[in-house]
Protein backbone atom coordinates (compact mmCIF):
# COMPACT_ATOMS: atom_id res chain seq x y z
CA UNK A 1 0.00 0.00 0.00
CA UNK A 2 1.56 3.32 -1.11
CA UNK A 3 -1.19 5.84 -0.44
CA UNK A 4 -3.53 6.32 2.51
CA UNK A 5 -6.64 8.50 2.27
CA UNK A 6 -8.70 9.08 5.42
CA UNK A 7 -11.83 11.24 5.62
CA UNK A 8 -13.63 11.98 8.89
CA UNK A 9 -16.86 14.02 9.03
CA UNK A 10 -18.85 15.50 11.94
CA UNK A 11 -22.34 13.97 11.50
CA UNK A 12 -24.36 17.08 12.43
CA UNK A 13 -22.49 19.85 10.63
CA UNK A 14 -21.02 17.59 7.90
CA UNK A 15 -17.72 19.44 8.25
CA UNK A 16 -14.67 17.22 8.04
CA UNK A 17 -10.97 16.76 7.37
CA UNK A 18 -9.34 14.64 4.69
CA UNK A 19 -5.81 13.28 4.99
CA UNK A 20 -3.74 12.15 2.00
CA UNK A 21 -0.49 10.38 2.92
CA UNK A 22 2.24 8.76 0.84
CA UNK A 23 3.58 5.94 2.96
CA UNK A 24 7.30 5.46 3.43
CA UNK A 25 7.59 1.69 3.51
CA UNK A 26 10.79 0.22 2.02
CA UNK A 27 8.76 -1.25 -0.85
CA UNK A 28 7.38 2.14 -1.92
CA UNK A 29 10.71 3.18 -3.50
CA UNK A 30 9.43 6.71 -4.10
CA UNK A 31 6.74 5.68 -6.58
CA UNK A 32 3.81 8.04 -7.04
CA UNK A 33 1.87 5.62 -9.21
CA UNK A 34 -0.68 3.27 -7.65
CA UNK A 35 -0.01 0.68 -10.31
CA UNK A 36 2.82 0.25 -12.79
CA UNK A 37 5.38 3.06 -12.95
CA UNK A 38 8.70 3.81 -14.66
CA UNK A 39 11.68 4.58 -12.40
CA UNK A 40 14.90 6.21 -13.68
CA UNK A 41 17.83 6.59 -11.26
CA UNK A 42 20.52 9.18 -12.07
CA UNK A 43 23.72 7.99 -10.40
CA UNK A 44 25.35 11.41 -10.68
CA UNK A 45 22.61 13.41 -8.99
CA UNK A 46 21.27 10.53 -6.90
CA UNK A 47 17.73 11.48 -7.99
CA UNK A 48 14.94 8.94 -8.53
CA UNK A 49 12.47 10.05 -11.18
CA UNK A 50 9.09 8.31 -11.17
CA UNK A 51 6.51 8.63 -13.93
CA UNK A 52 2.98 7.46 -13.33
CA UNK A 53 -0.58 8.54 -12.63
CA UNK A 54 -2.43 8.73 -9.31
CA UNK A 55 -6.18 8.99 -9.82
CA UNK A 56 -7.83 12.16 -8.44
CA UNK A 57 -9.56 11.85 -5.07
CA UNK A 58 -13.20 12.68 -5.80
CA UNK A 59 -15.54 14.04 -3.10
CA UNK A 60 -19.16 13.88 -4.16
CA UNK A 61 -21.24 16.93 -3.19
CA UNK A 62 -18.47 18.35 -1.02
CA UNK A 63 -16.08 21.28 -1.29
CA UNK A 64 -12.47 21.02 -0.12
CA UNK A 65 -9.84 23.56 0.96
CA UNK A 66 -6.11 22.94 1.35
CA UNK A 67 -4.97 23.39 4.98
CA UNK A 68 -1.47 21.95 5.23
CA UNK A 69 1.02 19.88 3.28
CA UNK A 70 4.58 18.77 4.01
CA UNK A 71 7.17 16.14 3.22
CA UNK A 72 10.18 14.96 5.19
CA UNK A 73 13.75 15.31 3.95
CA UNK A 74 16.58 13.34 5.48
CA UNK A 75 19.92 15.11 5.87
CA UNK A 76 23.48 14.11 6.63
CA UNK A 77 24.53 14.31 10.26
CA UNK A 78 27.45 13.15 12.35
CA UNK A 79 26.56 10.67 15.11
CA UNK A 80 26.84 11.91 18.69
CA UNK A 81 28.65 9.41 20.94
CA UNK A 82 26.51 7.79 23.65
CA UNK A 83 23.41 9.75 22.45
CA UNK A 84 20.33 8.63 20.52
CA UNK A 85 19.51 11.53 18.21
CA UNK A 86 17.25 9.85 15.68
CA UNK A 87 17.59 10.23 11.91
CA UNK A 88 18.55 13.81 10.93
CA UNK A 89 15.67 15.28 8.95
CA UNK A 90 13.69 18.44 8.24
CA UNK A 91 10.12 19.25 7.29
CA UNK A 92 9.57 20.74 3.83
CA UNK A 93 6.28 22.53 3.26
CA UNK A 94 4.47 21.70 0.04
CA UNK A 95 2.85 24.20 -2.29
CA UNK A 96 -0.93 24.55 -1.71
CA UNK A 97 -3.10 22.29 -3.85
CA UNK A 98 -6.32 23.83 -5.15
CA UNK A 99 -9.11 21.24 -5.62
CA UNK A 100 -11.04 21.53 -8.87
CA UNK A 101 -14.85 21.72 -8.90
CA UNK A 102 -16.87 19.85 -11.49
CA UNK A 103 -20.17 18.15 -12.20
CA UNK A 104 -21.42 15.07 -14.04
CA UNK A 105 -24.49 12.91 -14.26
CA UNK A 106 -24.24 12.07 -10.54
CA UNK A 107 -24.01 15.70 -9.45
CA UNK A 108 -21.28 18.15 -8.36
CA UNK A 109 -17.93 17.03 -6.96
CA UNK A 110 -14.46 18.19 -5.89
CA UNK A 111 -11.33 16.58 -7.31
CA UNK A 112 -8.08 16.59 -5.34
CA UNK A 113 -5.08 15.86 -7.57
CA UNK A 114 -1.88 14.62 -5.93
CA UNK A 115 0.97 16.95 -7.00
CA UNK A 116 3.92 15.77 -9.06
CA UNK A 117 6.25 16.23 -6.10
CA UNK A 118 4.79 14.09 -3.31
CA UNK A 119 7.52 11.69 -2.18
CA UNK A 120 7.15 8.95 0.45
CA UNK A 121 6.62 10.46 3.89
CA UNK A 122 4.46 13.33 2.52
CA UNK A 123 1.03 14.34 3.77
CA UNK A 124 -1.71 16.78 2.78
CA UNK A 125 -4.70 17.86 4.89
CA UNK A 126 -7.90 19.38 3.48
CA UNK A 127 -10.95 20.83 5.21
CA UNK A 128 -14.19 19.56 3.65
CA UNK A 129 -17.82 20.64 3.78
CA UNK A 130 -20.91 18.91 2.40
CA UNK A 131 -22.67 21.44 0.18
CA UNK A 132 -26.41 22.10 0.24
CA UNK A 133 -26.91 20.76 3.78
CA UNK A 134 -30.07 21.95 5.54
CA UNK A 135 -29.21 22.18 9.29
CA UNK A 136 -32.90 21.91 10.22
CA UNK A 137 -33.40 18.58 8.41
CA UNK A 138 -32.97 16.33 11.49
CA UNK A 139 -35.47 18.37 13.49
CA UNK A 140 -37.94 18.38 10.62
CA UNK A 141 -37.73 14.59 10.16
CA UNK A 142 -38.68 14.01 13.81
CA UNK A 143 -41.37 16.66 14.04
CA UNK A 144 -44.99 15.62 14.52
CA UNK A 145 -44.11 11.99 15.25
CA UNK A 146 -45.96 11.74 18.58
CA UNK A 147 -49.13 13.32 17.17
CA UNK A 148 -49.12 10.96 14.19
CA UNK A 149 -48.57 7.81 16.25
CA UNK A 150 -50.49 8.36 19.49
CA UNK A 151 -53.61 6.41 18.52
CA UNK A 152 -51.93 3.15 17.51
CA UNK A 153 -52.45 0.01 19.59
CA UNK A 154 -50.04 -2.91 20.21
CA UNK A 155 -51.27 -4.79 17.14
CA UNK A 156 -50.53 -1.76 14.96
CA UNK A 157 -47.07 -1.60 16.52
CA UNK A 158 -46.47 -5.23 15.63
CA UNK A 159 -47.13 -4.38 11.98
CA UNK A 160 -44.82 -1.37 12.10
CA UNK A 161 -41.90 -2.79 14.03
CA UNK A 162 -41.81 -6.52 13.37
CA UNK A 163 -43.56 -9.15 11.20
CA UNK A 164 -41.53 -11.94 9.66
CA UNK A 165 -41.81 -12.60 5.94
CA UNK A 166 -44.33 -15.38 6.51
CA UNK A 167 -46.60 -13.08 8.50
CA UNK A 168 -46.26 -10.26 5.98
CA UNK A 169 -46.98 -12.50 3.00
CA UNK A 170 -50.03 -13.91 4.77
CA UNK A 171 -51.37 -10.46 5.73
CA UNK A 172 -50.82 -8.86 2.30
CA UNK A 173 -51.97 -11.74 0.15
CA UNK A 174 -48.42 -12.50 -0.98
CA UNK A 175 -47.74 -8.97 -2.27
CA UNK A 176 -45.04 -7.95 0.22
CA UNK A 177 -42.17 -9.99 1.65
CA UNK A 178 -38.99 -9.13 3.54
CA UNK A 179 -36.65 -6.59 1.95
CA UNK A 180 -33.76 -8.25 0.12
CA UNK A 181 -30.45 -6.35 0.25
CA UNK A 182 -28.09 -7.36 -2.59
CA UNK A 183 -24.95 -9.15 -1.33
CA UNK A 184 -26.48 -9.30 2.18
CA UNK A 185 -29.79 -11.14 2.01
CA UNK A 186 -33.30 -10.68 3.34
CA UNK A 187 -34.01 -8.79 6.57
CA UNK A 188 -35.32 -10.90 9.45
CA UNK A 189 -38.31 -8.60 9.95
CA UNK A 190 -40.30 -6.56 7.44
CA UNK A 191 -40.85 -3.79 10.01
CA UNK A 192 -38.42 -1.18 11.29
CA UNK A 193 -36.70 -3.58 13.70
CA UNK A 194 -35.53 -5.58 10.69
CA UNK A 195 -33.35 -2.65 9.62
CA UNK A 196 -31.81 -2.25 13.07
CA UNK A 197 -29.67 -5.39 12.86
CA UNK A 198 -27.49 -4.15 9.96
CA UNK A 199 -27.71 -0.51 11.10
CA UNK A 200 -26.29 -1.32 14.57
CA UNK A 201 -23.27 -2.95 12.91
CA UNK A 202 -22.83 0.01 10.55
CA UNK A 203 -23.02 2.54 13.41
CA UNK A 204 -20.70 0.59 15.72
CA UNK A 205 -18.01 -0.02 13.11
CA UNK A 206 -18.58 3.02 10.85
CA UNK A 207 -18.94 0.49 8.04
CA UNK A 208 -20.01 2.70 5.14
CA UNK A 209 -18.98 -0.10 2.78
CA UNK A 210 -21.78 -2.31 4.10
CA UNK A 211 -24.17 -3.64 1.40
CA UNK A 212 -27.05 -1.66 2.99
CA UNK A 213 -25.12 1.61 2.59
CA UNK A 214 -24.41 0.72 -1.02
CA UNK A 215 -28.09 -0.03 -1.58
CA UNK A 216 -29.07 3.35 -0.12
CA UNK A 217 -26.52 5.16 -2.27
CA UNK A 218 -27.61 3.40 -5.46
CA UNK A 219 -31.31 4.24 -5.24
CA UNK A 220 -34.44 4.85 -3.16
CA UNK A 221 -35.65 1.23 -3.14
CA UNK A 222 -35.24 0.77 0.64
CA UNK A 223 -37.12 3.98 1.47
CA UNK A 224 -39.82 3.14 -1.06
CA UNK A 225 -40.23 -0.30 0.55
CA UNK A 226 -40.70 1.16 4.04
CA UNK A 227 -43.23 3.78 2.94
CA UNK A 228 -45.13 1.54 0.53
CA UNK A 229 -45.75 -1.27 3.03
CA UNK A 230 -46.91 1.24 5.65
CA UNK A 231 -49.13 3.14 3.24
CA UNK A 232 -50.65 -0.15 2.14
CA UNK A 233 -51.51 -0.98 5.74
CA UNK A 234 -51.88 2.61 6.98
CA UNK A 235 -49.64 2.05 10.01
CA UNK A 236 -46.57 3.83 11.47
CA UNK A 237 -44.94 4.17 14.98
CA UNK A 238 -41.60 4.07 16.86
CA UNK A 239 -40.56 2.08 19.95
CA UNK A 240 -40.87 4.81 22.59
CA UNK A 241 -44.65 5.04 22.02
CA UNK A 242 -44.91 1.25 22.35
CA UNK A 243 -43.34 1.38 25.82
CA UNK A 244 -45.71 4.16 26.88
CA UNK A 245 -48.65 1.83 26.21
CA UNK A 246 -47.37 -0.76 28.66
CA UNK A 247 -47.95 -1.08 32.42
CA UNK A 248 -46.33 1.19 35.02
CA UNK A 249 -43.96 -1.66 35.88
CA UNK A 250 -42.59 -1.54 32.33
CA UNK A 251 -42.60 2.22 31.69
CA UNK A 252 -40.78 2.95 34.96
CA UNK A 253 -38.41 0.00 34.58
CA UNK A 254 -34.86 -0.50 33.34
CA UNK A 255 -34.00 -0.43 29.61
CA UNK A 256 -33.63 -4.23 29.85
CA UNK A 257 -37.27 -4.39 30.97
CA UNK A 258 -38.23 -2.26 27.96
CA UNK A 259 -36.42 -4.66 25.62
CA UNK A 260 -38.25 -7.64 27.12
CA UNK A 261 -41.60 -5.85 26.82
CA UNK A 262 -40.99 -5.31 23.10
CA UNK A 263 -41.25 -9.09 22.64
CA UNK A 264 -44.99 -8.79 23.33
CA UNK A 265 -45.27 -6.69 20.15
CA UNK A 266 -42.90 -8.94 18.25
CA UNK A 267 -44.90 -12.14 18.86
CA UNK A 268 -48.46 -10.77 18.86
CA UNK A 269 -49.99 -9.67 15.56
CA UNK A 270 -52.83 -9.99 13.11
CA UNK A 271 -52.43 -12.80 10.55
CA UNK A 272 -55.33 -13.75 8.28
CA UNK A 273 -54.68 -17.49 8.39
CA UNK A 274 -54.29 -17.67 12.18
CA UNK A 275 -57.04 -15.92 14.13
CA UNK A 276 -58.55 -16.36 17.60
CA UNK A 277 -61.97 -16.20 15.97
CA UNK A 278 -63.17 -18.55 13.19
CA UNK A 279 -65.26 -15.77 11.59
CA UNK A 280 -63.17 -12.59 11.79
CA UNK A 281 -59.46 -11.71 11.94
CA UNK A 282 -58.26 -11.36 15.54
CA UNK A 283 -54.56 -10.92 16.54
CA UNK A 284 -52.85 -14.04 17.90
CA UNK A 285 -49.56 -15.08 19.50
CA UNK A 286 -46.94 -16.87 17.43
CA UNK A 287 -45.31 -19.92 19.00
CA UNK A 288 -42.00 -18.94 17.40
CA UNK A 289 -40.66 -16.83 14.55
CA UNK A 290 -40.10 -17.21 11.69
CA UNK A 291 -41.06 -20.92 11.58
CA UNK A 292 -44.48 -20.61 13.24
CA UNK A 293 -45.54 -17.33 11.65
CA UNK A 294 -48.84 -18.24 10.00
CA UNK A 295 -51.45 -20.91 9.33
CA UNK A 296 -52.49 -23.76 11.62
CA UNK A 297 -49.00 -24.00 13.20
CA UNK A 298 -48.89 -20.40 14.52
CA UNK A 299 -50.84 -20.49 17.78
CA UNK A 300 -49.96 -23.26 20.29
CA UNK A 301 -51.73 -23.71 23.61
CA UNK A 302 -48.61 -24.73 25.49
CA UNK A 303 -46.59 -21.73 24.26
CA UNK A 304 -49.43 -19.25 24.77
CA UNK A 305 -50.03 -20.08 28.42
CA UNK A 306 -46.36 -20.38 29.35
CA UNK A 307 -45.68 -16.91 27.93
CA UNK A 308 -49.03 -15.25 28.70
CA UNK A 309 -47.99 -13.87 32.08
CA UNK A 310 -44.83 -12.19 30.77
CA UNK A 311 -46.14 -11.02 27.40
CA UNK A 312 -49.60 -9.80 28.41
CA UNK A 313 -50.15 -9.60 32.18
CA UNK A 314 -46.84 -8.01 33.19
CA UNK A 315 -47.02 -5.55 30.28
CA UNK A 316 -50.62 -4.58 31.06
CA UNK A 317 -52.18 -5.96 27.87
CA UNK A 318 -55.04 -7.63 29.72
CA UNK A 319 -57.53 -7.57 26.85
CA UNK A 320 -55.14 -9.58 24.66
CA UNK A 321 -54.69 -12.10 27.46
CA UNK A 322 -58.46 -12.37 27.87
CA UNK A 323 -59.01 -13.06 24.15
CA UNK A 324 -56.50 -15.91 24.15
CA UNK A 325 -57.93 -17.49 27.30
CA UNK A 326 -61.48 -17.38 25.91
CA UNK A 327 -60.41 -18.70 22.49
CA UNK A 328 -58.73 -21.76 23.97
CA UNK A 329 -61.50 -22.20 26.56
CA UNK A 330 -64.02 -22.48 23.73
CA UNK A 331 -62.20 -25.61 22.55
CA UNK A 332 -62.00 -27.22 26.00
CA UNK A 333 -62.71 -30.96 25.98
CA UNK A 334 -62.53 -33.31 28.97
CA UNK A 335 -60.66 -30.62 30.91
CA UNK A 336 -57.95 -30.33 28.25
CA UNK A 337 -57.12 -27.67 25.68
CA UNK A 338 -55.57 -28.44 22.27
CA UNK A 339 -51.95 -27.74 21.53
CA UNK A 340 -52.81 -26.25 18.07
CA UNK A 341 -55.70 -23.77 17.87
CA UNK A 342 -55.93 -23.33 14.06
CA UNK A 343 -58.32 -20.34 14.26
CA UNK A 344 -60.71 -22.42 16.42
CA UNK A 345 -61.93 -24.08 13.21
CA UNK A 346 -59.88 -27.27 13.37
CA UNK A 347 -58.10 -27.43 16.74
CA UNK A 348 -55.56 -30.22 16.93
CA UNK A 349 -54.98 -32.33 20.01
CA UNK A 350 -51.97 -34.37 18.98
CA UNK A 351 -50.77 -33.69 22.53
CA UNK A 352 -53.21 -31.97 24.84
CA UNK A 353 -52.46 -29.55 27.68
CA UNK A 354 -54.08 -29.30 31.07
Find the length of the chain: 354
Strand partners, 9: 16
Are 165 and 186 in contact by the 8 Å Cβ rule? The answer is yes
Q: What is the pTM of this model?
A: 0.48
- Residue 351 pLDDT: 64
Domain ranges of the chain: 3-74+84-130, 150-354
Strand partners, 50: 39
Q: Is 330 buried (19+), middle (13-18) or exposed (0-12) by CB count in 10 A?
A: middle
Per-run averaged pLDDT (10 residues), the chain, 354 residues: 82 87 67 41 38 72 92 79 81 91 84 87 92 80 76 80 87 87 92 91 86 91 88 55 77 85 85 88 88 88 91 91 91 85 83 54
DSSP 138-176: HHHHHTTHHHHHTT--HHHHHHHH---HHHHHHHTTTS-
Are 327 and 277 in contact by the 8 Å Cβ rule? The answer is yes
- Residue 234 pLDDT: 58
Task: Kindly report, residue by residue over 242-272, the tens digit of the pLDDT.
Answer: 677 788 888 888 888 888 888 888 888 888 8
**CA of residue 204 relative to chain centroid, distance:** 10
- Residue 68 pLDDT: 94
Residues 6+ apart with CB under 8 A from 27: none
Measure the CA–CA gap between 298 and 284, rounded to whole angstroms: 8
Measure the CA–CA gap between 63 and 339, rounded to whole angstroms: 65
Measure the CA–CA gap between 102 and 108, rounded to whole angstroms: 6
Amino acid sequence: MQYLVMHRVQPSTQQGYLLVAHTAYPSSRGSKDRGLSTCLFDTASQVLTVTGIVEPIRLRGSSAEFIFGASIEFTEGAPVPHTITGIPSKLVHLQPVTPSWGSDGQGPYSDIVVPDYFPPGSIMIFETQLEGLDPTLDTFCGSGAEDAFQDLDPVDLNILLFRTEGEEMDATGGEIGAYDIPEFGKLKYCGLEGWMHPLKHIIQHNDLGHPLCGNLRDGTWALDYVSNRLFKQAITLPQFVAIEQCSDFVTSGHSFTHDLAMVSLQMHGRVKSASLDPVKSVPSLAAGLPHFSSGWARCWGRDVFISLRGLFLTTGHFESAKRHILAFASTLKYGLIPNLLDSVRSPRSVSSEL
